[in-house]
Amino acid sequence: MKTKSFLSLAVGLWLALAFTSVSAQGLYFDIGLGYGSGTTELDGEDMSDYFKSFGNIDELAVDFGFKLGYGPIAIAGSNPIYVVGVFNGIGHRLDDGRDNIQFNSYLLGPGIIVYPVDMVQLGLSVGVSWIANQTSLPGVELYDSDGGFAWDISAAVDLGGENHACLLGIKYFSASNTLKVSKVKEESSAISVFVKYSFRHKNNK
C-alpha cells in the first residue's frame, strides 16, 4: 500500500512539474489503448501453459498509457525529436470462464520519440517497473514487487496535421520484477496494436 501511494504521489508531482515547465508551443502529449498477445513467466514457467493444463482458457493482453514531454528539439538538420516522460503498462489476463488471473506490469520513466519521415513515429522508453496482479481465484495470495525494470519500443503511423493526430501503431513491452516474500522472478511481455490521440508540433525550425 505504501509503495502504491508513493508511486501515485510521484506521478502526480511529475505531471504538475511537467505542465508548469513546458510551454504550449513545445508540448507533446499522447494517450491511448492497445490490444494484443502477452506472456508471463514466473521463475521461467509460462503461466499460459500452466493454466491451460487445467482446461481451456481465454487469453488477452491490454496495453495502456500516456506520454508527456517537450519537442521538437531544435537540432540543426535533424528529424523531429521529442523527449518525454512515460507512464504505461500491460494487463495479461487468463480467464477460464469462471475464474481469472491478471498480471499487471507498469513502467514509469523517460523516453524519446523520433520521426524518421513525416508520417512515421518511432518511440523508445525505459524505466522503473512494478506490478499489481489481481485474481478471482479463492485463497490465492498475490504479492507486490520489490521493484524492477521495464522498457518498450513502438512504431506508428502519424495521421494528422500540425498539432493534433491519430497514431496507429504496434508496440512491444517487456518488464522484469521480483516478487516480495516469495522472491519469485516475474517476466512479462506483450506485443500489441494500439490507437492513440496525440498533440504535438512537428516543425522544429
Q: Where are the domains of the chain?
A: 2-199
CB-based contact 132:144 (threshold 8 Å): yes
Task: Write down the CATH number for the domain with range 2-199.
Answer: 2.40.160.20
Per-residue pLDDT tens digits for 104-157: 999 999 999 999 998 999 999 999 999 988 887 766 667 677 789 999 999 999
Rounded to two decimals, the pTM is 0.82
- pLDDT higher than 60, residue 18: no
CB-based contact 36:192 (threshold 8 Å): yes
